[in-house]
Amino acid sequence: MNIFKLKITSPEKDDFLMEVEMDNEGTYLELHNTIQQALAYDNTQMASFFQISDMGERGKEIALFEMSSDDDDNVNIVAMDVAMMREFINKETPQLIYVFDFFSDRYFNIELLDVERRRAAVDAPKVILFKGETPEQIVMDFDNMDDFDLDGVDLKSATKRDQDFDFMDEFDDDSEDGPQFESLDDYEDIL
C-alpha cells in the first residue's frame, strides 16, 4: 500500500504548516474534509483542488460537487468524491493548490513530500503535524472592491435595508405588448 505524505502551506501565513498522511487510494473529498475539520472551517463553502503545471498554471480541477451535465464536454473538472489521490498527484506532478475562498481566490499550496510503502493502509487521512496561525476561511475586503461593477450599490451602506424596496416593482404588469390570455384555452387557439 502506498501512503502519501502531504505538506500544506499558506502563501499568506508564513508560519502555517500542516502535514497529512493518507492512503493513495483515498479520495480528495476525504482530504478536503480533513483540512476543513483540522482548521475548524465551515465545510458548506465551495472548495476545489487544482493540479499545478511546472509553469505554475492551474490545470485539472477537482471540485467539491459535480457541476457538469451529460451534455458538457468539460473533462477538466472531476468531483472530489470519485477522484482518488493517486490520479492527480505523484512524483512527476507533486503540487496542487486547494482553493478554500473562491471569492478572494485564496488557497493553500499542497506538495507531495514522500510516498511510503506500507503493509497496512491508513484508514483515513491523518494530520501528523500542525503549527502556526490558521488563515481565516473567508475574507471580504469591501474597501478594495473598486474594480467590481456592482450597479451603483453603496458597499458602505450595504448593511442598511431599504424598507420601501419591493422587487416586484421591477415588473410592469400593465404592459399591453403581446397577446392577452384569460385562460390556457386562449393560448391553445394561437398555436
For residues 144 and 11, give the distance between their C-alpha atoms in angstroms, rounded to a whole number. 20
pTM above 0.85, yes or no: no
Most confident residue range from 14-18, 40-44, 170-174: 14-18
User: Would the pLDDT of 155 be above 70?
Assistant: no
Distance of alpha carbon 105 from alpha carbon 139, whole angstroms: 10
Higher pLDDT, 139 or 148: 139
Amino acid at 47: A
Residue 56: how many other CB atoms lie within 10 Å: 8
Nearest-angstrom CA–CA distance, 3 and 154: 51
> What is the end-to-end Cα distance of the chain in Å, rounded?
66
**Residue 159: predicted pLDDT:** 46
**Residue 117, φ and ψ in degrees, nearest 5:** -90, 125
Which residues lie across from 184 on neighbouring strands?
A: none
d(CA 47, CA 159): 27
Q: What percent of the chain stands above pLDDT 90?
A: 52
**C-alpha cell of 18?**
500542516
Which three cell numbers, joined as nine digits, stand for 70? 451529460
Which superfamily does 2-139 belong to?
MM3350-like (3.10.290.30)
In this predicted model, which residue has the larger pLDDT, 44 or 34? 34
Q: Is the pLDDT of residue 138 over 50?
A: yes
* Pairwise CA distance, residues 62 & 75, whole Å: 11
